[in-house]
Structure 1
């Protein structure tokens, strides 16, 4: 008996599903916000004050519950004293906040 191994392969139609893409983008956005906030040593409340948002709004973004928009990225970048960086793709690491150059 010879060995036969199978593996799960994501069907190509799922890879381009707009809902899945939006979910991955929201998660990447949330992780980027969390990473920068923690790097600055800010609490959720402090970031909310800086961005003129509520703590619930910040937490929702960090949990991947908010789709990134250009206006929201600009607002949060200003509050985080950073620039927004985007790469092609929709996965974690495709968006991040980078500290302003000194």
Structure 2
């Protein structure tokens, strides 16, 4: 497989002290990374849901940034998306990357 995608969400300085804003930014970064990897694989939300033992509405909420996933869910998503999940925090910035596994 090719290189994975990554998403970086930079929080404006004025919002770095607002924990709700930072949490929303983190959720969006993960949501975008899941969406990017899913579409790179060419699978639907329904197929991802099947692979991750979820429902399509749950995937939709996750990709919409409305869900804070648990570690077990992140693990299932990594397997379902056939990728290694990398999360990096640097201050208020979060980098989320699903790196496709080598064939």
**TM-score, normalised via structure 2 length:** 0.78
Runs of 4+ in 1 over 6 A off after TM superposition: none
Q: Pairwise CA RMSD of aligned residues?
A: 1.8
Alpha-carbon distance in structure 2 between the residues aligned to 1:63 and 1:15: 22
More relative contact order, 1 or 2 (CA 8 Å, 6+ apart): 2
1:83–1:25: structure 2 CA closer, same or farther, 3 Å change rule? same
Residues 19-77 of structure 1: per-residue CA shift (max 9 Å, x gap): 11110110001000000000000011111100110000000010111123322211100
Whose strand fraction is larger, Structure 1's or Structure 2's?
A: 2
Alignment size in residue pairs:
91
For structure 1, the 5+ residue unaligned runs are 1-8
1:68–1:25: structure 2 CA closer, same or farther, 3 Å change rule? farther
1:15–1:84: structure 2 CA closer, same or farther, 3 Å change rule? same
For structure 2, the 5+ residue unaligned runs are 1-11
